[in-house]
Structure 1
Amino acid sequence: MSFQKLDELCRKLEALEHALSILGADEATHMAVGGGEKRAEAMAVLAGMHHRQATAPEIADWIEAARGEALDDEQSAALREFERQYVNMTCLPSEFVECQTNARMRCEQLWRELRSKRDWRGFLPALDGVVALVREEADLRAEKLGLNPYDALMEQYDPGNRAADIAPVFDKLKAFLKDFVPLALAVQEERQAKRPLRSLSGQYPVERQRALGLAMMEAVGFDVGHGSLSVSHHPFCGGVPTDVRITTRYRTTEFLSSLMGVLHETGHALYEQNLPQKRAHWPLGRARGMAVHESQSLFVEKQLGRNPAFWRWALPMVETHLGEAWSLEDILPHVHRVARGLIRVDADEVTYPLHVILRFELERELISGSMTTTDIPEAWDAKMKEYLTLTTIDNPADGPMQDVHWPGAAFGYFPSYTLGAMMAAQQWAALARHHPGVNDEIAEGRFETVNDWRRERIWSQGSRWSTPELMERATGEPLNATYFMEHLKARYGAL
């Protein structure tokens, strides 16, 4: 049977993907600096092997023949998703995949070295090479898929997303936030006038923070038998569902940024660990795009991790691991702190979307060719001034060098972060309607209801549905940005 041939191919491809994922996670966490060149070469060869097997001409014949076979509903859905993946992969020649893999890995390695030195000039040639390859990729995909180049890139992260649909939503959100950020800051100032902010002690050893993070990861559902926590330059969730690798970075002067990073990446990990295992080797069994993935990570970080109910349960754990006793009234101003800042991953949930919108707007110009890599620092600075009244012109490390995405050739990914925040707020609203007592459970450290709801409606579905269909099935209505704005108003907009 042709479907059986596709099934066997999927198992072989899964093995190569497993190797690439673990090698990539190791490269970012444990590999010696001197191993970078050979690691990039090895991963480029593996990526080429994977691509050649996944795009073999006979696969098209197998797909066509499988349509005529007696398939059950799940197999039919698997065939549709496999065909979508095949079409997208055949957009690129295997030689191009090898070349791009090598270039992006070397650029990432250089980024790690030069970011701390604020050496934009030394970094620029490598980034320029990556952008040139991404533009070539976008053109190749656009021609095959019948999309414009930027949409063709977004299709790889969130099937169905289109810039023409996203841009008006982001424009509306941007207009709301430009008015709401000053209001949230004023409310915060008024609160602190009534109750002065208790200062952090600034004495948080890494090993104690790590122990706290692991305890919270496990409490919210992370399976420590199938995952681990490490340190990297940029927090990420990688590996494979049976061996999820999440990372964070630490500051000994405070603990919340690392903890929130751990919770964020744990949200990604929970999604991966709870995907349908029996079809894990099929594209159907994978996560449904990065916006859905970000909705799961942001759900844990924002809807849970910044929820007052969560901190009623969490404060004794903080005291146990860090040796500091906090009241809810003392910790929440830190958890809900709003501040205009330079760093996206450290941003609060009010200002964070502005960081994403900035990147979305710039990378559309980069891919279209209306902006060059040389223009990035000035364009970045202009938007930072407009959106957050901050400047980065003399600080590229905290400006356009702060994220790993562009060195890693991940253009078209950034919209997923803010789309995910909107989706997370809508999912929480639907969950709370079905389970009005969920905050009482969270305050007691019971996360079964939250996880069961998400497992049934999102995690177990894999890629069976498109992102819009999945959201409507999970929440009862299409994506509605109003939930996110109302969430911000309720948490930050009033005394």
Structure 2
Amino acid sequence: MTSAKSPSAYEELRAIFTRLSRFDHLSAISGWDMQTMMPPGGNKARSEALAELNVLKHQILTAQKTGALLDRAQQESLNEFDRANLHEMRRQYDNAVLVPGSLVEAKSLAGARCEHAWRTQRPANDWEGFSDNLRDVVKLSREEAQIRAQAAGVSRYDALLNLYEPGMRSADLERIFGDLKTWLPELLQKVVAKQQQEPCLIPQGPFNVETQRKLSLSVMKLLGFDFDGGRVDVSAHPFCGGVPEDVRITTRYNEKEFLTALLGIVHETGHARYEQNLPREWLGQPIALARSTAIHESQSLFFEMQLARGEDFLKILRPLIIKQFGEQPALEENNFIRLNQRVRPGLIRVDADEVSYPAHVMLRYEIERALIESEIDVDDIPALWNEKMHSYLGLDTVGDYRNGCMQDIHWTDGAFGYFPTYTLGAMYAAQLFNSARAAIPKLSEDITAGNLHALFHWLQQNIWRHGSRYPTDTLITNATGETLNPRYFRQHLENRYL
């Protein structure tokens, strides 16, 4: 009688990370429920439950056994996929083992309190009340950043940026954003001046919310959303959550106008398609996760900006809108295209056009970097926000916290380092769409005919199916022939708007 063969260290690790992914599943769906369905009175108990779950995950991931298995697995003979998976396991472990469980719990609870309060304090324009909660989150985020920075030998902000965009440094962002500043303000001025000579009719409502929802579902179907593995709901701030097998996206409706909600749906559907098409055979393992936050944003912005605001797609979107709301002058084809390509600097980031959007990102990056590096404090945010809004976009936010420094959800739970990935994502999206167009000779005709199969197949082959198999630079080079090149973003904006 022969004894059963003991599992290898790598096989044991796979079992551990499968278990962690199941906890992540519960955490993701519970977090979605918190933002969409949960009554306000449930916040304290839910926050405590999620904090407990986060501590448990942290204990499993950082256990001495996990570290020992990682060391042993490094010596084992593994194929390319398993080696890449092991690399991602090690990265997760290294990121987690630095931070004590007590800080994980404290940050989780502070973030939940701050986010819950934000939902009522933002509409009330209550900066004073909000800033008390935000101060706690910033304090804990600085503690985490300091621990990570000392271990990695980088700045505090770079230590947090690395959690969202592995390998990216603020020096890289300074170079990229510095280049943007040399040409974007002039481009913005030219486009605004040009469009002032092109009057644009605005659709006249009201637009029934249930009808908007039907329109959203029809557009999601056109974009290939898998309704057997996902759903759409309403929240205070649009987002894509859940897990690849059960993706949850949200939007927010306004009876006075429908395009904001609709384009929000398109954006979140881009995120959802990426999640729904991650490598199924590897689900539960780190290699099956999205490569980075910027790559995730590149998919949502590929859908929203590159595809949905392009003339070809707008020609097939318009009939779907008319079917729900009927004909009106603003929906005439040329006017409808102008409406969706209108550039008008505004206060709200999520409603911004793609020309002024990078200014919103640079503003937030500069403030959050200074905040984490302790160059400024929470009380300094409103004045600095107004100063930069005036400098970048010529807009005033004095006293308007709701539409100024309180508008985003990101800082409420300590997501410092996230904002730059939006502009990086926009640049990746432009570069990817340029390569897709070169690879699909009849792409324009396909889109106009409502045939998006070839485009989505290209994304599936070049981005979605790879998960975290490759580093970001390798993934983008394989797809486009080069690493991130911001010139494609500039070319895209100039070609579309000038």
Same fold (TM over 0.5): yes
Contact in 1 for aligned 2:230/2:248 (Cα 8 Å): yes
2:216 — aligned with what?
213
- 1:317 equivalenced with 2:320 (yes/no): yes
Task: Report how far residue 324 of structure 1 moved.
Answer: 3.0
- 1:283 equivalenced with 2:286 (yes/no): yes
1:406 — aligned with what?
411
| Mapping 1:55-454, distance limit 5 Å | 55-192=62-199, 197-324=200-327, 326-454=331-459
Contact in 2 for aligned 1:160/1:466 (Cα 8 Å): no
* Alpha-carbon distance in 2 for matches of 1:158, 1:287: 11
Task: Report how far residue 384 of structure 1 moved.
Answer: 0.3
Q: Which amino acid aligns with 1:4?
A: E
**1:149-185 alpha-carbon deviations (Å, 9 max, x no partner):** 1111011111011000111210211231111111000
Residue 249 of structure 2 aligns to a residue whose secondary structure is: strand
* Alpha-carbon distance in 2 for matches of 1:229, 1:105: 23
**1:37-57 alpha-carbon deviations (Å, 9 max, x no partner):** 111111000111111111111
Residue 445 of structure 1 aligns to a residue whose secondary structure is: coil
- 1:15 equivalenced with 2:22 (yes/no): yes
* Alpha-carbon distance in 1 for matches of 2:202, 2:180: 33
**1:313-360 alpha-carbon deviations (Å, 9 max, x no partner):** 111111112223533212011101111100000000000000000000
**1:434-459 alpha-carbon deviations (Å, 9 max, x no partner):** 11211111111111111100111100
1:474 — aligned with what?
479
Q: Which amino acid aligns with 2:341?
A: H
Further displaced range: 419-428 or 88-97: 88-97
- 1:6 equivalenced with 2:24 (yes/no): no
2:4 — aligned with what?
none
**1:382-409 alpha-carbon deviations (Å, 9 max, x no partner):** 0000000001111000001000001121
**1:265-321 alpha-carbon deviations (Å, 9 max, x no partner):** 000000000000111111111000100000000000011110110011111111112
Measured on the aligned residues, the alpha-carbon RMSD in Å equals 0.9
Further displaced range: 471-480 or 415-424: 471-480
Contact in 2 for aligned 1:279/1:285 (Cα 8 Å): yes
Further displaced range: 60-69 or 413-422: 60-69
Q: Which amino acid aligns with 2:171?
A: A
TM-score by length of 2: 0.97
**1:125-150 alpha-carbon deviations (Å, 9 max, x no partner):** 10000000100010111122232211
* Alpha-carbon distance in 2 for matches of 1:178, 1:316: 35
Provide the aligned length of Structure 1 versus Structure 2. 489
Q: Which amino acid aligns with 1:41?
A: E
- 1:42 equivalenced with 2:49 (yes/no): yes
Contact in 1 for aligned 2:364/2:419 (Cα 8 Å): yes
Further displaced range: 326-335 or 36-45: 326-335
Residue 241 of structure 2 aligns to a residue whose secondary structure is: strand
Task: Report how far residue 80 of structure 1 moved.
Answer: 1.1
Residue 412 of structure 1 aligns to a residue whose secondary structure is: coil
Q: Which amino acid aligns with 1:177?
A: L
Q: Which amino acid aligns with 2:443?
A: V
Task: Report how far residue 198 of structure 1 moved.
Answer: 2.3
Task: Report how far residue 258 of structure 1 moved.
Answer: 0.6
* Alpha-carbon distance in 2 for matches of 1:140, 1:280: 31
Aligned counterpart in structure 2 of residue 483 of structure 1, from 460, 485, 488 = 488
TM-score by length of 1: 0.98
Residue 244 of structure 1 aligns to a residue whose secondary structure is: strand
Contact in 1 for aligned 2:60/2:66 (Cα 8 Å): no
Residue 342 of structure 1 aligns to a residue whose secondary structure is: coil
Identity %: 43
Contact in 2 for aligned 1:88/1:145 (Cα 8 Å): no
* Alpha-carbon distance in 1 for matches of 2:261, 2:383: 30
